[in-house]
Structure 1
């Protein structure tokens, strides 16, 4: 991934993070992903008074990607939290990323200033995962 794409992901994740709706935790998170064909989508966390009904930033970015149509293969995803501790995707988001991942999907985690705290492939975060290819179904005209 080149420096220009990384810079764009940081800008988009930061912009999304600034729009996060987090009145309960006050923990704002932004995410941005780039598809294999170069499209970039972002999302932010959206909390809800009924706590389980909130949406993670990564899920928001993935939803934006799917809603736009086209290539739904994540090349890389960046998550921006706050502070020196990496804001890694939760288990549910790891599985959501996995649904649209390739064997090369990279996960990057940066702090609010854009300093890289974590970089690895999705397999490191979700080893021995279950995905579409484990099912004997047809997904959008392709056998999984």
Structure 2
């Protein structure tokens, strides 16, 4: 299997920045303070924004981007980036888990952790168990 082409990190960061448009909602709730973008193995780009609700049931921008991707039945992420007011935001633990659980191959996804600097998702989950196809059949 051919490996997907290396994504343009500047383009990925620009896409994440383009959707980051803070919106104040009622009751001290917010949306769009964080923007995320991801590129799939098929070369498609998906974006998402966060939702910060007072009750705690909001979600991260990466979750929003993953949901958009899943609508197209794609699961393999090549690279992901998120940005907030202060710049690049590495994914939280919940987002890391989401990415690895939708496709174990995402352990190789490049995660933007600082401008121009990526780390494979698997290195951010160093003691994680990655299920194999045989495990799924069991």
TM-score, reference length from structure 1 = 0.74
| Uncovered stretches (5+) of structure 2, i.e. residues with no partner | 1-5
CA drift of 1:133 comes to 2.4
Deviations 1:59-94 (A, max 9, x none): 11111100122x32000101112326x522111111
Aligned residue for 1:42?
A: 47
Residue 63 (str. 1) matches residue 67 (str. 2): yes
| Uncovered stretches (5+) of structure 1, i.e. residues with no partner | 111-115
Return closer, same or farther for 1:87/1:102 CA change in 2, 3 Å cut-off: closer
Aligned residue for 1:98?
A: 100
Distance between the aligned counterparts of 1:16 and 1:83, measured in 2? 15
| Equivalent position to 2:80, from 77, 90, 114 | 77
Matches within 5 A, 1:1-144: 1-2=6-7, 5-18=8-21, 23-24=28-29, 28-51=33-56, 53-69=57-73, 71-83=74-86, 86-99=88-101, 100=103, 101-110=105-114, 116=115, 118-133=117-132, 136-138=135-137
Q: Alignment RMSD, CA only?
A: 2.8
Higher strand share: 2
TM-score, reference length from structure 2 = 0.77
Q: Aligned pair count? A: 129
Q: Secondary structure at the match of 1:7?
A: helix
